[in-house]
Amino acid sequence: MGGPKIKKNVQVDASLDKPIDKDAPPTIFTTALTPEYATAALNLSVDFLKQQQGECNKYLISHPVVLSSIVLILTIYMTPKFTYPSNEDISSVSSFLYHLFLLNKRNVFSALIITLICTSFLFTGLSRISDSFFKSKIDRILQSNGELVFNTDLKALQSDTQEKNRKKKNTSEKDTLENTHIVVYRNTPISLISISKNLSLDNVININSIGARKVYLKSGILEDLLDWSMIRSRTLCSASKKKSDTPLKVIVEVYSFDDKLKKTLKKRGFSFISSTKIVENRLLGGLFGVKKELWGVQFHFASKDKN
């Protein structure tokens, strides 16, 4: 779909902390990666990682290790302070708990306060663990000017020199830009997906980044992006001059705690392939068992050179 024309080298508003302009025309269109959307694409890819960090924090705070720690602290703190009902007052388990509560109302209140304090301290500590992990990933993307995700230097893409020479780009460079699919609503980029050919394996396409603004995640937009990735993958591999009977595979790396994305992948025929523990952070990969999971879907396609 085509969208409104944008002045050359004028960057589309890439601020993710602003609400979408309600006064803008309610149009939705898609575009490949162009100089005008370079900053927006970079911001969206970073925002997707921040969303994953939020999911990671939820996973960590509800992890059995954390819950067990809170219970242990409460037990150590409260056991000496509790007054227990006599055997004469106990006729059942519910009766025991009722009398225990009556005799320890103040202690129960203290236990709630201790639970909140422990949870707050643990959440702060766990957030720092996940923050250090995801911050390093974000820093690498920003330092590469997005090249790690989009296979092109976004800073160079939006420069005047790059803009003047855009028509002179070879087929490979144009393909690289067209391997990113951006969805724009009310003149605001709201989601994207970026893919690339696997350099080690034939007929394997990597999904480097996929996501949407949080408010649109339940709209089904991720499913549409995955559909596009499979169509685009067929185009890339069918244009190849190499003859191969190997099925086409589209793969994506997912963190083990990202149940929402895995559910979406299943809807589009993706399945679990393998997993490895995170080695970049020993606490996440060791103590909390966070893994990188490889998911993929495969299908046959016809190369252009086949009869």
How many whole angstroms separate alpha carbon 133 and alpha carbon 52? 11
The predicted model scores a pTM of 0.84
CA–CA gap between residue 213 and residue 152 (Å, rounded): 23
Backbone angles phi, psi at 221, to 5 degrees: -70, -30
pLDDT single digits (tens) 221-255: 999 999 999 999 998 887 665 656 778 999 999 99
User: What does DSSP say about strands 188-197 and 248-255: parallel, antiparallel, or unpaired?
Assistant: unpaired
Query: Running DSSP on this structure, what letter comes out for residue 11?
Result: P
Separation of CA 102 from chain center: 47
- Asked if residues 146 and 153 have their Cβ atoms less than 8 Å apart, the reply is yes
Half-sphere exposure of 160 (CA within 13 A, CB side): 0
Under a CB-based contact definition with an 8 Å cutoff, are residues 82 and 107 in contact? yes
Residue-wise pLDDT tens digits, 85-140: 776 667 777 877 777 778 777 877 888 888 888 889 889 999 999 999 999 999 99
Coil, helix or strand at residue 209: strand
Going by C-beta distance under 8 Å and a sequence separation of 6 or more, which residues neighbour residue 41? Answer: 33, 146, 150, 154, 180, 182, 189, 192, 194
CB atoms within 10 A of CB 151: 20
Strand spans (E) along 88-220: 180-185, 188-197, 204-212
Distance CA 195, CA 250 (A): 9
Q: How far is CA 288 from CA 117, 234, 278, in A?
A: 22, 38, 10
pLDDT digit string (tens) for the chain, length 307 residues: 555 555 555 777 666 667 777 777 889 999 999 999 999 999 999 999 999 999 999 999 999 999 998 888 888 877 787 777 776 667 777 877 777 778 777 877 888 888 888 889 889 999 999 999 999 999 999 999 999 999 999 999 987 444 455 555 556 778 899 999 999 998 899 999 999 999 888 889 999 999 999 989 989 999 999 999 999 999 888 766 565 677 899 999 999 999 999 999 999 999 999 999 999 999 999 999 999 999 999 987 765 554 4
